[in-house]
Copies of this chain bind each other. A is one copy, B any other.
Amino acid sequence: MIDIGIVGGTGYTGTELLRLLAQHPTAKVRVLTSRQEAGKRADSLFPALRGFCDAVFEVPDPARLAQCQAVFFATPHGTAMQMAPALLAQGVKVIDLSADFRLQDPAVYTQWYAHPHTALDALKEAAYGIPELHRDKIAAARLTAGPGCYPTAVQLALAPLLEAGVIETRGIIADCKSGVSGAGREAKIGSLFCEVAESFKAYGVPGHRHLPEIQQGLAWAAQAPVGITFVPHLVPMNRGIHATVYARLKQPGIDLHKLFAERYADEPFVDVLAKGEHPETRGVRGGNVCRLSPHLAPDGETVVVLSVIDNLVKGAAGQAVQCFNLMFGQPETAALQSPGFAP
């Protein structure tokens, strides 16, 4: 069994990691840290885990973590960059679910996260953890940056079009909608039930931290800068991201469905719907899958790609486990093969 440590397991991403890893055939969580909940069983915070998880929160102890073979960070930004270098130096592989290693340019990091990056060497070697786009690099990495939830949905929606060079690379629109778990398990007024239920709103139109990450990833796919407007919205539901992505075709006549089906033909976790269908977020709830449906709008020149994921699974913990599997030579689908969950 591969010994796993999780730093910061009290949020929704952390509990989802525990849920998935509880079913992993060759890995086991040995260390689970939380300064605040130290001494409590994980299943006392998350009763859905009762019977499936014995882990007890403990104060983070570098020595204990260094005994693991892999450490996941499910912490706010700023923590992983402090602790990862020492772990790497001791031979521990790291999968960071925070933002610390997503942006390769430290200046861009500082601009959006308002503090300097303090682990520049680690940053240089970090793989960007979308296996469908960077599988080989992840498999060879000691450190993987788990992508943001919105960036995952948007990049998988646009990669086939940008790689094939069939759309204009300016004026792309990513209108994205997320369930509330994307805001984390923090006590703040804006995430209260009564502030969110029976309402819908956009936020962050003037700028959102996932924008530079999306731009970076699309530029890799297009091998050129890409101009995109990204607007996130909050949906009154627990889980799910729906990205509706608009781009202009360079020329008519592309078989969009074929392009997507072929691009993702061998991917176990990308599912291209039949022509004309519309995915629902509940169809991927609990599953590690991105479901895509490309459409040509009635104007004959606008491509509309519908892309749905569960933000906590393919958008966070599931994709992190997928990367872990690659980094440790395990079957990529280990612990990730159970059906979604609806209603």
Residues of A within 8 A of B (CB): 12, 15, 19, 22-23, 46-53, 171, 173, 175, 177, 179-181, 185, 187-189, 191-203, 205-207, 211, 227-229, 231, 233, 235-240, 242, 244, 246, 248, 271, 276, 278-287, 289, 291, 295, 297-299, 302, 304, 306, 308, 338-343
Contact = CB atoms under 8 A, between A and B. Distances in A.
Contacts of A239: 198, 343
Given A19-B339, A193-B196, A197-B343, A297 B12 contact: no
B201 A242 contact: yes
Nearest to A337: B52
Contacts of A279: 47, 201
A171 B302 contact: yes
Nearest to A194: B343
A237 B185 contact: no
B240 A278 contact: no
Number of identical protomers: 4
B242 A233 contact: yes
A187 to B, nearest CB: 4
Contacts of A291: 47, 50
A304 B205 contact: yes
B235 A342 contact: no
A278 B236 CA distance: 16
A223 to B, nearest CB: 20
A280 B46 CA distance: 10
Contacts of A202: 242, 244, 278, 306
Contact of A173 (B173, B195, B235, B240): B173
A127 B189 CA distance: 34
Of A181, A200, A235, most buried by chain B (CB within 10 Å of CB) is: A200
Contacts of A200: 177, 179, 235, 237, 240, 242, 280-281, 308
A227 B300 CA distance: 11
Given A197-B237, A202-B242, 17 more contacts: A23-B339, A48-B283, A48-B285, A173-B173, A173-B175, A177-B233, A187-B189, A193-B193, A198-B237, A198-B343, A199-B281, A199-B283, A201-B281, A201-B308, A206-B295, A227-B299, A235-B235
A334 to B, nearest CB: 15
A342 B199 contact: yes
Contact of A199 (B12, B181, B240): B240
Contacts of A283: 47-48, 50, 199
B173 A246 contact: yes
A244 B22 CA distance: 31
A214 to B, nearest CB: 12
17 contacts: A47-B291, A49-B339, A171-B171, A181-B343, A185-B194, A187-B189, A197-B236, A198-B285, A199-B280, A201-B308, A202-B242, A206-B295, A207-B298, A228-B299, A229-B297, A229-B302, A341-B341
Contact of A175 (B175, B189, B281): B175
